[in-house]
Amino acid sequence: MQIANLGFPRIGRQRELKFAQEKYWRGEISQAELKLVAKELRRTHWEWQAQAGVSLLPVGDFAFYDQVLTLSATLNAIPLRHRNEGIDANKVDLDTLFRVARGRAPSGKDAPAGEMTKYFNTNYHYIVPELTVDQEFSLAYEQFFEEVEEAKALGYAAKPVLLGPVSYLFLSKAVGSDFDKLSLLPKLIKTYAELLARFSEQGVEWVQLEEPILALELEADWQAAITSTYEALKDAPVNVLLASYYGTIAHHQALVSSLPVAGLHLDLVTAPEQLSEFAANLQPEQVLSLGVINGRNVWAADIDLIAERIGSVVNDLQGRVWIAPSCSLLHSPVDLDVETELAPALKQQLSFAKQKLTELTQLKALLSTPKSSSDKAEIDAIVATCVARRDAREASADKQVIDRVVALNSDDYERDTQFVNRQSVQQQKYQLPLLPTTTIGSFPQTPAIRGLRSRWRKGEISEDFYNDQLRQVTRDTVERQLKLGIDVLVHGEAERNDMVEYFGEQLQGFAFTQFGWVQSYGSRCVKPPLIYGDVSRPTPMTVEWAEYAQSLTDKPVKGMLTGPVTILHWSFAREDISREQIATQIGLAIRDEVVDLQNAGIGIIQIDEPAFREGLPLKKSDWDAYLKWAVDAFKLSAAGVTDETQIHTHMCYSEFNETIAAIAAMDADVITIETSRSRMELLSAFEDFEYPNEIGPGVYDIHSPNTPTVDEIVELIEKAADKIAVRQLWVNPDCGLKTRTWDEVEPALKNLVQATKVLRRRL
Ligand code: GLN
Ligand code: ZN
């Protein structure tokens, strides 16, 4: 039995790659220096994997920006606008790669960056390949081959890991004209065949081709493309390990089991039940790679239970089994060993990328027959650790929280009366004009605010001084809004570093790491909170700030909270209870805050859910089940208030066509969404559904530094009014303004208020 790995995080345990990349982009180090940092990281990561007993070391998991982009460069699928004049059209260099990613690089002409989008249901973002109808492919970029040589020079057997041709095409976009991307498949397969041949010349025996699209429900032509691709690559001089991940591929079992590939990798963490069927249908010589250690979370695995679960398959298949993480470890933080401030009881529950390799070593020990009494002792110790860990988890359960969840009944999820009634009660109370103006919550997080926070965190300034300064910022923010003439104000969120972390730090059941970073895109990393225990809210979290802001004006100031679904999605959540249960617990905690805000005189409360759509499962047939509990968690957080209290929610960019019924079921009194870039196209879903509640479609693209003119905003509101009754409409920007400067924000909001006035006069 071999230990396999699909890929290792490249950022380095202290984010060395990030800092080197950014220095290179700023011109502070040379390309050679950047490459040296990269080489050292690869060396270290291979060494860790080899020490854990991984036999074939992944190569190609390293990327200077994004592995999909590296592949595009390798295949010479680089947009024309990023190519350097005078450079061989059959070669791609590193700066060209950076120009695709960022629109600029230390050398070459600037050009708009390639589009970036989420990689399946992860928080990793890739650069979308742009393919034209006459796209040609050729091997144009050497990084892959150089890294194979590098691994060989260190004495390792390399296993290149890369997206397979069908998933690559699927993730790319057709540019220039609308054409069937599959028409490019034959050319693409030819270049993949050349790629595999080059690897073979380098002495490579196994190549991991990833087809994550198998976790989706595919149209017939894409299914057929999988078959024809692997038939065509059948004679390649290497063994192909066909890897799937992030979900079950059981719905494609017959198709996958008949492919002429040397091995299959299955994600048995998200879909353990698919093992038996694939094992039963394995071809005589095929290898089965069992992805049993979660590559996307931070918790130590119950390896004793895993060993029990896969024991019989391992026995049946003998030497044809590999054990592996479920997917690349790209989505895990790098190394738990560098955490010095975690409580020991929590630390023993955790496992980051490096530790996951050790878990595989231990799993192999559990699956092997002990040859000596020391083998036996080792096995006993591993099992004892697993049992102790489970016992500790159980012992730390918060009975109050659990009982409260059990006691919930359907009334707890519903407001007192229907929306129409609430609407008139609220109108009576707030007397808002037609087309009320508001913003989404945050105002510019100036360098002064960030500096203040970092000095406070380091203990250089007192808590009192910090809060006093923030109060001044808040007062200034309120005054500016009053001067602008906005109807429903916000306090500005100056006290918040991040919309999840801020709440996590105040909730029971959450913890934070020092270095638990994972790559989000390029050099950007995020450090999600850990939800390790039952969640509750010991004391009010935002009430003081809301009260203070409200004390400054007679106009309503919105209370501002992050919703349960978003808090869950943007955290590393525990796995011993369901996501639904965790969302319910967070929903109750937020509900407590909502009720306290109301009791403190805050009449309008916004519960942000920008990550609501992100949680949608890969398979559409699983959507309803997710939407049911996600909507419920939101409703639970919102429904504790009286009819007079107006609940808002906010979602960013959102394609609502297929989820509009669920959005309506959330029953927020007002929803604000991002619609300016689509020029109100996204509102059609609401129009067609006859969405009953109020909507604030964004009329100002906050991603751009440009100031929208009064006329542009008037036009957008008119477009919105074509689809939605005016009395249902609010006027607001697309999203929060924290990344903008006051110089950008003030003129834009001035125009927004002005545009509203123009229309109110006209209507
Ligand atoms: N209230 C938050 C803000 O304005 C919402 C951010 C978001 O939607 N991501 O910053
Ligand atoms: Zn937003």
What is the CB neighbour count within 10 angstroms for residue 531? 23
Interval between CA 668 and ligand 2 midpoint (Å): 16
Q: Report, as an integer, the average pLDDT of 170-189.
A: 97
The SS3 assignment for 489 reads strand
C-alpha distance from residue 293 to each of 37, 247, 426, 518 (Å): 29, 14, 51, 17
676 pocket-lining for ligand 1 (C-beta < 6 Å) = no
Nearest to 58 by CA among 161, 195, 205: 161
Predicted pLDDT at 45: 98
In angstroms, the CA 567 to CA 593 distance is 14
Q: What percent of the chain has pLDDT over 90?
A: 97
Is residue 696 in contact with ligand 1, taking CB distance under 6 Å? no
**pLDDT tens digits for range 400-432:** 999 999 999 999 999 999 999 999 999 999 999
CB 202 within 8 A of CB 148: yes
Closest ligand to residue 703's CA:
2
**Over residues 675-703, mean pLDDT:** 94
Nearest CA to ligand 1 atom 6: 736
Q: What are the residues whose beta carbons fall under 8 Å from the beta carbon of 681, sequence distance 6 or more?
A: 675
* DSSP character string of 630-676: HHHHHHHHHTTS-TTSEEEEEE-S---TTTHHHHHHH--SEEEE--T
Confidence of residue 704 (pLDDT cuts 50, 70, 90): confident
For residue 171, what are its two tokens? 């993730």
Tokens 């607001």 locate to 732
Nearest ligand to residue 738 Cα: 1
What pLDDT score was predicted for residue 763? Answer: 79
Annotated binding-site ranges: 15-18, 118, 440-442, 493, 524-525, 570, 608, 614, 650, 652, 674, 735
Q: How many angstroms does the Cα of residue 608 sit away from the middle of ligand 2?
A: 8
Q: How confident is the model at residue 501 (pLDDT cuts 50, 70, 90)?
A: very high
pLDDT grade for 193, boundaries at 50, 70 and 90: very high
Residue 275 pLDDT greater than 80, yes or no: yes
Active-site residues: which are they? 703
CA dist., res. 721 & res. 726, Å (int): 6
- CB 563 near ligand 1, within 6 Å: no
Q: Is 317 in the pocket of ligand 1 (CB under 6 A)?
A: no
Q: Is the CB of 735 under 6 A from ligand 1?
A: yes
State whether the beta carbon of 611 lies less than 6 angstroms from ligand 1.
Answer: no
The yes-or-no verdict on residue 102 having pLDDT over 80 is yes
Ligand 1 centre from 499 Cα, in Å?
7
Q: What is the pLDDT of residues 206-260, one digit of tens each?
A: 999 999 999 999 999 999 999 999 999 999 999 999 999 999 999 999 999 999 9
Q: Where residue 63 falls among pLDDT bands split at 50, 70, 90?
A: very high
* CA nearest to 57, candidates 130, 175, 148: 148
Question: How close is the Cα of 447 to the center of ligand 2, in Å?
Answer: 21
In this structure, the residue with its CA closest to atom 9 of ligand 1 is 610
CA 555 to CA 179: how far, in whole Å? 53
CA distance linking residue 464 with residue 39, whole number of Å:
47
| Residue 442 beta carbon below 6 angstroms from any ligand 1 atom | yes
Best residue among 123, 442, 607, 739 to mutate for probing ligand 1, ranked by most atoms within 8 Å of CB: 442
**pLDDT of 508 strictly over 90:** yes
Average pLDDT of the segment spanning 573-597: 98
Would you state the pLDDT for residue 84? 79
pLDDT at 224: 98
Please name which of 286, 278, 291 lies closest in space to residue 246, comparing C-alpha atoms. Answer: 291
* Residues ≥6 apart with Cβ < 8 Å to 504: 510, 512, 529, 531, 567, 571
Q: pTM for the full model?
A: 0.96
Taking the CA of 558 as reference, the closest ligand is 1
Q: Determine the pLDDT at residue 85.
A: 75
Range with lowest mean pLDDT among 51-60, 107-116, 489-498, 630-639: 107-116
Cα of 296 vs centre of ligand 1, distance in Å, is 25
pLDDT in tens, 517-537: 999 999 999 999 999 999 999
**Residue 185 beta carbon below 6 angstroms from any ligand 1 atom:** no
Please name the residue whose Cα sits nearest to atom 3 of ligand 1: 736
Round to whole Å and give the CA distance between 498 and 343: 23
Mean per-residue pLDDT for 367-373? 95
pLDDT single digits (tens) 65-98: 999 999 999 999 999 999 977 778 889 999 999 9
**pLDDT per position as a tens digit, 145-178:** 999 999 999 999 999 999 999 999 999 999 999 9
Q: Is the pLDDT of residue 654 over 90?
A: no
Q: Which ligand is nearest to the CA of 441?
A: 1
User: How many Å apart are CA 321 and CA 286, to the nearest integer?
Assistant: 9
| Atom 5 of ligand 1: nearest residue by CA position | 736
652 CB within 6 A, ligand 1: yes
Q: What number does the ligand 1 atom closest to the CA of 738 have?
A: 10
Quick check: 216 and 255 in contact, CB under 8 A?
A: no
Note whether 732 and 698 are within 8 A (CB). Answer: yes
For residue 441, which atom of ligand 1 is closest to its CA? 4
Q: Atom 10 (ligand 1): residue with closest C-alpha?
A: 736
Local confidence band at 652 (pLDDT 50, 70, 90 cut-offs): confident
Q: Would you report the helix, strand and coil content of the chain in percent, each value rounded to 5?
A: 50, 15, 40
pLDDT above 80 for 620: yes
State the chain's mean pLDDT as an integer.
97
**ipTM > 0.95?**
yes
The answer to whether residues 601 and 417 touch, using CB atoms and an 8 Å cutoff, is no
Binding residues for Zn(2+), by number, are 650, 652, 674, 735
650 CA distance to ligand 1 centroid (A)? Answer: 8
Q: Is 158 in the pocket of ligand 1 (CB under 6 A)?
A: no
pLDDT recorded at residue 417: 98
From the alpha carbon of 652, which atom of ligand 1 is closest? 8
Residue 736 CA: nearest ligand 1 atom is 4
Q: At what angle do helices 399-406 and 579-599 cross, to 10 degrees?
A: 90
pLDDT at 655 over 90: no
Residue 489 has pLDDT above 80, yes or no: yes
Average confidence (pLDDT) over 652-680: 92
